[in-house]
A and B are shown apart, each in its own frame.
Chain A
């Protein structure tokens, strides 16, 4: 499996877990966070679809949940956008384009939470 895809999927899984933790702790932001979570779930779904059949199972990192705040989500989105853009820049074809769009999406998420 290509490393860029595996890392990108892991990033999305991590973001979803953080958003879930913040949603539980901050119901007032639930509607907003729901939109962000839906985007990340879509990112994960499409990224997984690019992984060749028969590839080794993904090994996802453990996600630290504390402290779970909107500010943490914002900084994580910003970092994720930068990582996705850098990974896109060293990837090829459809994967590169997908990651470039994901980077743009995650930057807009950070903006929404600012």
Chain B
């Protein structure tokens, strides 16, 4: 008798996982736009260390966020490959992110992208919970996915707050990030 082949991720889990990856790809693209409007010519000329925007906290925050999302794209893609899924790639363009014509627009876009990521990660968290996959024949979510999803949701919620603070938004907090 041969051992049963372990079931792969459910269709719901796969869709939610791909959506989270898509949101991260969008954030990486979007932070390129954000940085283009936050990094000034003075930053480029005056910094001895390239990409060190210590005199421009908004540009430094954008760079840090960009790096964090790029790392997530990589780790999520690796995790999906490990369970036999094909991670989606980045799109050539993200028209929904435009227009961005000023630093003010850039700050607002950054906050919106982080909110989008929160929503996507919350969707994946829901797909990871047992009630979301009540059929006992279906495989459990890959080990560690739920914890990693919580971390990504929390990280985006914190980044969203940082951007709302940068925007001097009247409402800084969100009672239920991603909902």
Q: Do A and B come from one complex?
A: yes
Q: Is the CB of A35 within 8 A of B172?
A: yes
Q: Which residue from chain A places its CB closest to the CB of B160 in the assembled complex? A: A108
**Complex-state Cα separation, A109 to B161, whole angstroms:** 9
- Identify whether the interface residues of A are mostly helix, strand, loop, or mixed: helix
Q: Quick one: given A92-B130, A93-B130, A100-B125, are A105 and B175 in contact (CB under 8 Å)?
A: yes
**Looking across the interface, which residue of chain A has its beta carbon closest to that of B151?**
A85
CA–CA, A103 to B132, complex, Å? 20
Contact (Cβ within 8 A) A98 B175: no
Partner of B129, one of A39, A85, A93: A93
Interface size class of B (residues with CB under 8 A): 20 to 34
Per the bound structure, the CA–CA distance linking A94 and B122 in Å amounts to 11
Are B172 and A96 touching (Cβ within 8 A)? Answer: no
Q: Does B179 lie at the interface of the complex (its beta carbon under 8 Å from any beta carbon of A)?
A: yes
Q: How many positions in chain A have a CB within 8 Å of any CB in the partner chain?
A: 30
Alpha-carbon distance A81/B158, docked complex (angstroms): 12
A36 at the interface (CB under 8 A from B): yes
- B contact residues around A88 at 8 Å (CB): 125, 150
> Which residue of chain A has the shortest Cβ distance to B123 in the bound complex?
A97
CB distance from B172 to the nearest CB of A (A): 6
Question: Is the Cβ of B153 less than 8 Å from the Cβ of A35?
Answer: no
Q: Are A101 and B130 in contact (CB under 8 A)?
A: no
Which residues 29-71 in A have Cβ within 8 Å of B in the complex? 32, 35-36, 38-39, 42-43, 46
* Complex interface: chain A residues within 8 A of B179 (CB): 97-98, 101
Q: In the bound complex, how far is the Cα of B159 from the Cα of A104, in angstroms?
A: 11
Q: In the assembled complex, how far is the CB of residue A10 from the closest CB belonging to chain B, in whole angstroms?
A: 18
Asked if B146 and A89 sit within 8 Å, CB to CB, the answer is yes
Residue-by-residue, is B154-167 near A (CB-CB < 8 Å gives 1, otherwise 0)? Answer: 10111011100100
What is the minimal beta-carbon distance from A113 to any residue of chain B, in angstroms? Answer: 11
By the criterion CB–CB under 8 Å, are B154 and A107 in contact?
yes
Q: Is the CB of A94 within 8 A of B131?
A: yes
Q: Contact: A111 with B158, CB < 8 Å?
A: yes
Give bound CA distance, A104 to B173, whole Å.
Answer: 11
Q: A92-B131, A112-B172 are in contact. Are A97 and B126 (CB under 8 A)?
A: yes
Contacts of A98 in B (CB 8 A): 176, 179
The answer to whether the Cβ of A102 comes within 8 Å of any Cβ in the partner chain is yes
Chain A residues with Cβ below 8 Å from B177 are 101, 104-105, 108
Residues on B close to A: CB < 8 A?
Answer: 118, 122, 125-126, 129-132, 146-147, 149-150, 153-154, 156-158, 160-162, 165, 171-179
Nearest 7 pairs between A and B by C-beta?
A: A93-B131, A104-B157, A39-B175, A108-B161, A42-B175, A101-B176, A104-B154
